Amino acid sequence: MFKRAFIIGTGLIGGSLAIAFKKRKLVKEILGYDRSLENLNKAESLGIIDRQAELKEVNECDLVIVSVPVLSIPSVLLSVFPMLKKGAYILDVGSVKGYVVEKVENKIPPGIDYVPLHPVAGKEISGPESAEERLFEGRTVVITPIRNERWKKIEELIEAIGAVPIYMDYKLHDELFAISSHIPHILSFANVNLLREMNVNNVRFLIGTGFKDFTRIAKSNEEIWADIVIANKHYVLKAMERLFKGWSKIKKAISCSDRAKLTGLWREARLFREKLDG
């Protein structure tokens, strides 16, 4: 589908896309660039990329993927835009879209297609060694903001790696993911710190699967997640306020020993959660 792709950021997402493209023969050659020389060397030694490249070599590529921490995406895009050849596609795969789109949408050169994506896939571990070919199979890839007919080729690329493309307004995307992804990470980090502050000896032998399941994502990279919640702070703070209101209802019901109130609130949650599995 593409002659040459350029991956900027060869960690979990960028690396997994590169592997998926190579295994399915969707791209003939994949070049890589990363501010971390260690990651770049690993990506090359693992065969994730065909070779390391200088950033200026994006002018030789018809597909460019920016997979760097969210707060860095706008500056990377703006530095790369002038180097791109006419007809090239450039994608960013950040999990916050408004922060990026609003900074670059009026600065896209003519003849260049900038396609903001969010692959709804990932793991709590990062780096090129965590990349895997099938990371995106059966997963959704959100495309924002408005459909462009030339983007049909990107839809086909997404489908070719086993994922499902959907279009969504970037504001709705950021509000939804503040609740479904960003708040769970914040709560998970906070819960682990709450346990850490107890300073109980051999606590790892005393915790059950509930804590381990809930806090698995607290093993995520703190640098990446600090960027995400700051980039999406408008919707994250709104979601936190809504969470505090719900938390206050639960706190009041516990304080008053109001079992009926508690079971009612939690029944609604359980039933909705069961629907999500369906």
CATH homologous superfamily for the domain 2-168: NAD(P)-binding Rossmann-like Domain (3.40.50.720)
The rounded average pLDDT for each run of 10 residues, N- to C-terminus, in the chain (278 residues) is 94 93 95 92 93 94 96 97 96 96 94 95 81 93 82 95 95 97 97 94 91 94 94 98 96 97 96 92
- How high is the pLDDT of residue 147? 63
- How high is the pLDDT of residue 149? 77
DSSP assignments along the chain, one per residue = -EEEEEEE--SHHHHHHHHHHHHTT-EEEEEEE-S-HHHHHHHHHTTSSSEE--GGGGGG-SEEEE-S-GGGHHHHHHHHGGGPPTT-EEEE--S--HHHHHHHGGGPPTT-EEEEEEE----S--SGGG--TTTTTT-EEEE-S---GGGHHHHHHHHHTT-EEEE--HHHHHHHHIIIIIHHHHHHHHHHHHHHTT--TTGGGT--HHHHHHTGGGGS-HHHHHHHHHHTHHHHHHHHHHHHHHHHHHHHHHHTT-HHHHHHHHHHHHHHHHHHH-
How far is residue 65's CA from residue 145's CA, in Å, rounded to a whole number? 17
Question: Which phi and psi (to 5°) does residue 160 adopt?
Answer: -70, -20
- How high is the pLDDT of residue 125? 74
Residues 70-93 pLDDT 10s = 999 999 999 999 999 999 999 999
Written out in words, the top-level CATH class of the domain with range 172-277 is mainly alpha
The ranges of the chain annotated as CATH 3.40.50.720 are 2-168
The ranges of the chain annotated as CATH 1.10.3660.10 are 172-277
How far is residue 14's CA from residue 8's CA, in Å, rounded to a whole number? 7
